[in-house]
Amino acid sequence: MEPAVLGGKLASGLITPLLKKLFVPDAPGAGLVDRPIRLSSLVSFKGEKRTLTEKDVHKLAAHLVARAVDSPGEAPFPPDEQTAVADALARRLLALGDLDMDDVQAVRLGHRELARQLEYGAPPPAGLSTDARHFLGNATEWACLQILEFFTRRSTFVARTLVEQTRTQAELIARIDELITRSPRPGSQDRTFERRYLPYVAERHNHITIYGIDLRDSPDRWPLEIAYLSLEATATEEHHLPDEHPGASFTVQLPAEEALSTHDRVLLRGDAGSGKTTLVQWLAMTAARSGDRIPYVLPLRTLIRAGQLPPPAAFLSSTGCPHTPPEGWTERVLTAGRALVLVDGLDEIPSADRHRTRDWLLSLIRAFPGNRWLLTSRPTAVRPDWLAGESFRELTLAPMRRPEVKTFVERWHTAAQAPEYEGPLLDSLRTKRDLARLATNPLMCGLICALHRERRGYLPTGRKELYDAALTMLLARRDRERGMGALEGAELGEEAQLEILQRLAYALVLSGRTEMDVETAEGIVERCLPTVAGQSDARTVLRDLLLRSGLLRQPADGVVDFVHRTFQDYLGARYAVEEGHLDVLTSHAGDTQWEDVIRMAVAHARPRERVVLLRQLLARDEPRLTLLALACLEHATALDPGVRAEVEERAGALIPPRTSDEARSLTQAGPLALELLPGPEGLSAAEALAVTVTASLLGSEEPEAAMAVLRRFREHPDLDVRRQLVGTWDRFDTREYAFEVLDHLNREELYVRCDSDEKYAALSLMRPWRSVTCVGSRFMAQILDAVVDPTQVETLSVIDNPRIVDLEELSSFSSLNRLWLHRCSGVESLAPLPELPITELGLSGIGGVTGLRELRSLTWLSLNRRLQGPSLADSLPVEAPLRYLHLGPATVGTVGLRGLSRWPTLTTLRINASSRPLTAADWQEVASLPALTELQLDDELSQAPLSDMPELPGLRILQM
């Protein structure tokens, strides 16, 4: 409910007298006072002569809320929250007495800012729904409108100011009319439908299938909220951080479910079984439950069957949603920027359909800006920059690391009620290298857990053997051990089922799809019947496979697919090898959808067939196919040594990699690449960096071998190589990596980043670092405990730490000359800093800058905070010989550039945009700097009219 709509429900003539009770009446002669009256002396519920108690204020708030709820029209929030909303509103009204301002200042703030001050001054409401919070915020704003109107009518206020001339009743009414025009009340039909749709989405996607747990008496599905495992998404990005490391490139890591937290458009890549679809389900479920966004889950493999990709009005009907929305509802949601659109499975549609899918998606984005969009795909389905021009952030689901595998195994056995098998399996995963290499994604982990439990602790080795065992378990043992007979008279053995399934799989592989019509599937089955199923008809056999095999499913009416693409590729490769279709396999080697098929074909093939496959891959003389041949060696248990040597020799042209892109491509070959990585002797700096990037990316999959490579580079002199070694700390065991790699590095121009308890503990065990970045909420005493020798620290960065309040403890850092405080809201005073030899200071998101004027030794200053006073000279150290000054939008927005001429030593000035444009007077301040040679303007400033900029003859560098 907007303030204007609320104002229509609460008539001013009835409610304003209630709000006036919050304030003491005017006293005779009060208009003659010569100074402003503080709000604490105006309210009637504080002081010695109070006329209202806090209980009375709560009653007043309850009356206001009751008036809004009882008035005609739709209720603004659920009735059972009325008491909680009234209490929250009362606490905000009581916060009036704690505001450090007078009535004149309150009027200057305006009703919205005054409402925010009351919100900050009151305890945050807990447990309120989105509608209730929305009502509370607007009720507070409307009350503040009335309070300010009351102030402007007090005789003392009229006598002391001219505010009444500018804040009249007519202006308030005009603003309310404008709000009514701009914010019409949403239709009740939409709200009613969303109350049905959101719970449906949450329930539909709140499940996950864990392979194997239905083998005896356990269910095969578990609530997603219990079974969900948070995986890591990574992206390599260029960041410009002039305050620490200009132009540094590093790997960004974040939980996959936070992919859309900072970017509205994300392309998420992940290998088969890595958890892309599960993540889509999680995002849909959590969005539906929170109500912040309206989720739409759009599986491309289902949508593409209709030929024409759906317009917004058909989003729900095309995905089988049983609810029919009001006409135009989806368009209204998209227009309002409230949608979370989750498009799943770009790799599961033919290459020919991807461009029109891209056009469809981009047309929606351009037509409906402001929404959030997620597209999932296998890593090599489209080129890296496929959507880069449309502001899509690319993230990749990282392989599961040891802690994540351990968590998965624990949750699986808890869900399967089989705790007796958990410990032995974890021991096997720690000690058996081949097995640990397979457990890199949720699918394979689930298969391993299921096989381990089903076989009472026995586990096969090798990827092919694991799949063979899984198929045996799913196709034969389950039914035998349950004593189940054939369904509808179709008695199929394991080999008969495999024959049909692999033909279905091969047909899908050849068509480039992951789904087929039931009629097509029945036709394939019918051609198999004379040899595998006797007198059974095709429809019965297919239905039996859907019900019993555990490999096929029917995701929608008239459609058949495999439960996972991996089984399709595995069985399709098996059939291709059996039929001798080696030329077909290699002719499709350029298609990324065939990569896993070819790898599995090498696993199924006989030694001579492997030679043919690998040599045909090499004959294409393409880097990616050479890497594919290298990756196939993992599955070639028996192979001509000459061919193996030829593959490894050809791969030598790709090893060592020379760029980060080549390094990422090389990781497609898997951990085998780690055995071929050279160095550091004989490598250029660029090659050494690319080798360390390769090993870093493979560290999650094969940490021991990857660390062995990185260990060789720990004494490398190149700065970028050393930065890469520091930046990949998160991929390895924290303590072990600190001892084996970090503690041996040359610290020159390096900084170590601590953002976890484990890293702080490891930092305390290493040799001293001169540059330390501390991220997260910790007391200064905890930071000091982790730093071995504070007197050797020269650069200290403290980020996102509200616990840091008193900087007195920084006195232990006696050699500190560079300090960065970023989002440390508790810091109000910099008074202790003049005692330290600080020459460079960065401040952003702190509580106050008291004492900054005393830092007379500064030569470098970056500041982004609102300042008091009309000039920079009122807060900044006038006597400091500043050579570099960066002013952020919060600083520029309050004082502009007034007083800038007080620092004639400035050679570099950087200005960020604010809501306040630069004036001619501001530019005159810049022109008066005699030593200025470099001026940096951000994008917004560089695009603004610069007609007021004077000539700057001494300027040599203008960066825009």
| Mean pLDDT of the region 361-371 | 93
Q: At residue 882, does pLDDT exceed 80? A: yes
Span 546-556, average pLDDT: 74
Q: Which residue has the higher pLDDT, 2 or 876?
A: 876
Mean pLDDT of 938-960: 73
pLDDT band for position 248 (cuts 50, 70, 90): very low
The more confident residue out of 64 and 906 is 906
Contact predicate 685/721, CB 8 Å: yes
Q: What is the pLDDT of residue 446?
A: 79
- Residue with the bigger pLDDT between 644 and 16: it is 644
Q: Distance between CA atoms of 706 and 725, rounded to whole angstroms? A: 12
Q: Are the CB atoms for 268 and 259 separated by under 8 Å? A: yes
**Number of continuous H segments (helices) and E segments (strands) in the chain:** 43, 22
Which range is least confidently modeled, 95-109, 274-288, 776-790, 927-941?
A: 95-109
Tokens of 309: 């990709």
| b/e per residue 11-27 (b: at least 16 CB within 10 A) | ebeebeebbeebbbeee
DSSP H stretches of helix in 416-537: 422-431, 433-438, 442-454, 463-472, 478-482, 494-511, 518-532
Average pLDDT over residues 835-848: 92
Q: pLDDT per residue over 654-678, tens digit each? A: 888 988 888 888 887 666 577 678 8
Per-residue confidence at 186, pLDDT binned at 50, 70, 90?
low
d(CA 98, CA 38): 10
Best CA proximity match to 193, nearest among 76, 22, 328, 38:
328
Average pLDDT taken over every residue of the chain: 81
- How far apart, in whole angstroms, are the C-alpha atoms of residue 384 and residue 271? 15
Whether the Cβ atoms of residue 698 and residue 671 lie closer than 8 Å to each other = yes
The string of pLDDT tens digits covering residues 115-143 is 888 888 888 888 888 888 888 888 888 88
pLDDT at 556 over 80: no
Peptide bond between residue 877 and the one before it cis (omega within 30 degrees of 0): no
| Sequence-ordered list of residues with C-beta below 8 angstroms from that of 383, at least 6 positions apart, any chain | none
Confidence of residue 335 (pLDDT cuts 50, 70, 90): very high
pTM higher than the cut 0.75: no
What tokens does 282 get? 């999680």
CA distances from residue 154 to 23, 31, 101, 242 in whole angstroms, order as listed:
11, 9, 17, 53
Local confidence band at 483 (pLDDT 50, 70, 90 cut-offs): very low
User: Is a pLDDT exceeding 70 seen at residue 815?
Assistant: yes
Task: State how far the Cα of 759 lies from the Cα of 779, in Å rounded to an integer.
Answer: 16
Q: Which residues have a Cβ under 8 Å from the Cβ of 181 and sit 6 or more positions away? A: none
SS3 sequence, 195-212?
HHHHHHHHHHHCCEECCC
Alpha carbon distance 298, 721 (integer Å): 42
Alpha-carbon span 151 to 145, nearest angstrom: 10
* CA-closest candidate to residue 372, choices 257, 269, 273: 257
Task: List, for residues 743-771, the tens digit of each pLDDT value.
Answer: 999 999 999 999 999 999 999 999 999 99
Instruction: Name the packing angle between helices 565-578 and 494-511 (round to 10°).
Output: 100
**Cα distance between residue 571 and residue 467, in whole Å:** 10
- C-alpha to C-alpha distance for 297 and 309, rounded to whole angstroms: 14
pLDDT at residue 716 tops 60: yes
State how far the Cα of 628 lies from the Cα of 651, in Å rounded to an integer. 10
Please check the confidence at residue 686 and state whether its pLDDT lies above 90: yes
CA dihedral 193, 329, 356, 346 (to 10 degrees): -30
The reported pLDDT for the residue numbered 245 is 44
Q: Considering only CA atoms, which of 904, 952, 957, 882 is closest in space to residue 924?
A: 952
Query: Does the pLDDT at position 5 exceed 70?
Result: no
- The answer to which of 388-397, 544-553, 851-860, 902-911 has the lowest mean pLDDT is 544-553
Q: E strands, 28-124, where?
A: none
- pLDDT class of 246 with cuts at 50, 70, 90: very low
Which segment of 85-89, 343-347, 529-533, 846-850 scores lowest on mean pLDDT?
529-533
Give me the mean pLDDT over the 388-395 stretch.
84
pLDDT at 482: 39
Residue 489 CA to its chain's centroid (Å): 51
Residue whose token pair is 């889950």: 297
| Token pair in block for residue 683 | 């490598």
